[in-house]
Amino acid sequence: MLEKNRKTVQSVYEKLAGYCSNIDVENTGKTKDEHVYLKEFSTNDFNFIKNHFHYDVLKNIKAFKSKENQIQLEYTLYNPYDKETLIMTFINNNNVLSIQSLFDNAKNMEKEISDKFNICFQS
């Protein structure tokens, strides 16, 4: 299962790399999770992954401070067909676009993060 997940994430990375230049993939080796790191936030990236790789479920949005004291947002997406999870992370630059148009359940998660971290999600 772990090997399949790595291949899927690599496939997402390879196809996204041809689509946009603002991503990177990291596997720390500490867990089975791999991350797609976004240098810039784009709802187009989320839309592309949702439509081409069937990560149709938004499981969670987390916000946390990095070691550099920057706020990072971590989106956990789930592919119910292949039963795989993809985690997308980016550093908040105070210009965060809402993904409510792609995932209905994002509204409450974005509101909670907005209240706690004073981040404004833009439509």
Residue 53: the pLDDT is: 83
Domain spans of the chain, in order of start: 2-122
Compute the distance between CA of residue 89 and CA of residue 70 in angstroms, rounded to an integer: 12
Residue 38: the pLDDT is: 72
| Helix, strand or coil, per DSSP, at residue 74 | strand
Which pTM does this prediction carry? 0.78
What residue ranges of the chain have pLDDT lower than 50? 1-2, 27-33
**2-122 maps to CATH 3.90.550.10:** no
Distance of CA 104 to the CA centre of its chain: 15
